[in-house]
Every structure is written in C-alpha cells, then in structure tokens.
Amino acid sequence: MEKLEINGTEFTFDVEKTREYYKSNEVCDCAYCLQFRHTVRNLYPELAAYLARFGIDIARPDETGPVDLEESILYYFVGYTVCGSGSAPEGADEEISIAADGKTLKLTLGTGFQFPNNQKEEYFSLTVYDLYLPRVNVAEE
C-alpha cells in the first residue's frame, strides 16, 4: 500500500489493484471517449506518468465532461477511480496542482462524489480538470 498526504488528509492506495481495475473496467464508446482515448496519452505524457503512480490508466477514465469547442474538445473534468481509501470527511475533496506537459493542472482527490464505476472494494476518486484535446478522426473500437 502506498500513502499520500494532502493538507492533513491521508490517502492510502493499492497500485496493483488499481492497475487490475483499469485492465478490466468497462469503457464508454461514445465519440468523446473515443477521441479522449486516442489522443490523451500522447498529448499529456507527464500527466499519464503521474496518474500511473496510482495505477491509473489515463486513457480509461470512469467519466468525462466534454465541451465541444470549434477546433478542439475541452474535457472540463476527467474522473478516475483509485483502489484505496482517504481520511477526508465524506463529501470533501483535497485539491492539488501539478506541473505537467507545460501546464499547471488542477486535480482533486476525494471520497465525496464518486463517478459511476465497477469497483466493488473501497476506493476514492481522482479528478483532473481542463484538458484540451484536438479533434481527430477515430474509428469505433
């Protein structure tokens, strides 16, 4: 088990269980999620590496909040599941900022709002905000 403390809130997580979750979780096949899966890893490699420290596969989120812009798509939130627990009060999230891929990205970790997922054991959410991705032509998987 790994530990991370943010502002006095302790998060404990199992990297291997989280990796296994991402190998088996269902993924959405809507056009926005297909776009996300086909572009995010190449455009945000440092973020992908940061999320991998938790066992998260950046290309397999539980939920996204896309906004269609003229030349790109803004994913104003991208929600992931981490196998583990956090000591934050129910409904509370801890916010952090990380420098990755030439940007300062906002993330929250929390036990509050949980994205729909297939996780059966204890977990917390990790949410990334404001990822801009170009529109590309992708075929259905």
In this prediction, residue 111 carries a pLDDT of: 74
The two structure tokens encoding residue 104:
């300062």
Per-residue pLDDT, 104? 94
pLDDT for res 26: 83
Which amino acid is present at 31? Answer: A
Q: What are the residue ranges spanned by the domains of the chain?
A: 2-134
pLDDT for 107:
93
Q: What is the mean pLDDT of each run of 10 residues along the chain (141 residues)?
A: 85 94 87 92 95 95 92 94 80 85 91 68 90 80 47
DSSP string, 39-97: HHHHH-HHHHHHHHTTT--TT--SEEEEEE-SSEEEEEEEEEEEEEEE-SPTT-EEEEE
Nearest-10 Cα torsion for 16, 17, 22, 25: 160
pLDDT of residue 113: 60
- Token readout for 132 is 């801009």
| DSSP string of 12-44, one letter each residue | EE-HHHHHHHHHHS----SHHHHHHHHHHHHH-
